[in-house]
A = this chain, B = another copy of it.
Amino acid sequence: MQHNNNQNVSFANEPYRDPDFTINFKAPFNAEPRQDVLVQQFITPTEKFYVRNHAPVPDINGESYALKVDGLVGNPLILSLSDIKNKFEKVTINASIQCAGNRRTMMSEYKKVRGVGWGIASLSTASWSGCRLKDILEYAKVFTKTEGALHAVFWGLDFGCPEDNGKPYGSSITMEKAMDLDGDVLLAYEMNGEPLPRDHGYPLRVIAPGIIGARSVKWLDKVTVSSQESESFFQRRDYKIFHNGVDWNNVEKYWDKTPSLQELSIQSAICIPAPNSTLYLPFTITGYATSGGGRKVERVDISLDGGETWDYAELMGEDKGVCNKYWSWVLFKYTITQLPQLQNKDHQKIRLVCRAWDSASNTQPKDVKDIWNLRGVMNNCWHF
């Protein structure tokens, strides 16, 4: 199962996918479910879970698979899949994973950005089972922070990422997140009670809840404990957010001094109805809201008049989290039974908006204009 940078990568051996996906990029495969289908249930069915790939999907034999753990550890490891399943406690968490590029298409409509165009459905929620990264790192006798152990660097087996000269996808998280017992970072081998499907990282992937999906590396090849962040393109030259004066002519000055994205911000979107729908009363609006860092979604506001007046949506709170461990989205609904302004008219145009607030009183920015950024990441403006 050794791969190297020079191998031919091809898309000839991609897995079967749900024909109902909206395909945003074909090869590598990037697709999101229909937004109305997404909010039908708290746990997204595996086949509907959005797919964000950076290269062809590796075809890995779980029997011969080995995870390497090296770097600033006293006891470097090579672990088989059965070692991982048998030597370490099995932990199951519900967690949403959201791409930092979620809602990028809307940002691009305001002003063009580069990157895969995503609607509002590049996030999904699953039950993940695996071992704690913390347990594996402790077994490897990981060094302390003062000894320089600051980042857990992940490499995938998905060779052939065009942005990074054919290297596999790579990324890192801080050791504080990796080693936090309440951080719930897993090396997951099951998704919704079944072995991971190929598109979601078979046989082993990182699940780093509360932070951008880009850090939850799939088809995990190696964990290296390091004093430095991942040197991958995807850590150093992507997934960063700048003010609107940074463009492709001057961005080189900014990459190194801009932190790589980790925790997600507060986010919400209306999934039903689709924009420009004709509604017949009573009508129920349905959507999702989520925040990063385990923060709880405290409320979702709905406006029928573009944000002049608001009311509270009902939260369908299936995320039974505890303080700072709310890893999953909440779904919300709001039923319109009458429109106060509706008088003698048969039709009335309403301007639906949603915005969420989290347990740190953070809320979404109103206008995409104010958060526009070159890479089109972290678009969490009010959803009209």
Contacts and interface: CB of A to CB of B under 8 A. Distances in A.
A380 B363 CA distance: 10
Nearest to A322: B176
A346 B310 CA distance: 46
Given A243-B310, A245-B311, A310-B243, A261 B176 contact: no
Interface residues of A, number: 43
A380 B362 CA distance: 9
B361 A261 contact: yes
A243 B308 CA distance: 10
A367 B365 contact: no
A293 to B, nearest CB: 5
A44 B238 CA distance: 39
A29 interface: no
A378 interface: yes
A243 B311 CA distance: 7
A324 interface: yes
Interface in A209-249: 241, 243-245
Copies in the assembly, this chain? 2
A323 interface: yes
A139 interface: no
Contacts of A263: 295, 359-361
Contacts of A103: none
B365 A176 contact: no
A293 B324 CA distance: 10
Interface in A243-266: 243-245, 258-259, 261-266
A14 interface: no
B177 A361 contact: no
Interface in A323-373: 323-324, 357, 359-363, 365-367, 370-371
A310 B244 contact: yes
5 closest A-B pairs by CB: A176-B323, A263-B360, A243-B310, A265-B361, A362-B362
19 contacts: A145-B322, A176-B324, A177-B323, A241-B357, A243-B311, A245-B309, A245-B310, A258-B299, A259-B298, A263-B295, A263-B360, A264-B361, A265-B360, A265-B362, A292-B360, A292-B361, A363-B365, A363-B371, A366-B367
Interface of A: 145, 174, 176-177, 241, 243-245, 258-259, 261-266, 292-293, 295, 298-299, 301, 307, 309-312, 322-324, 357, 359-363, 365-367, 370-371, 378, 380
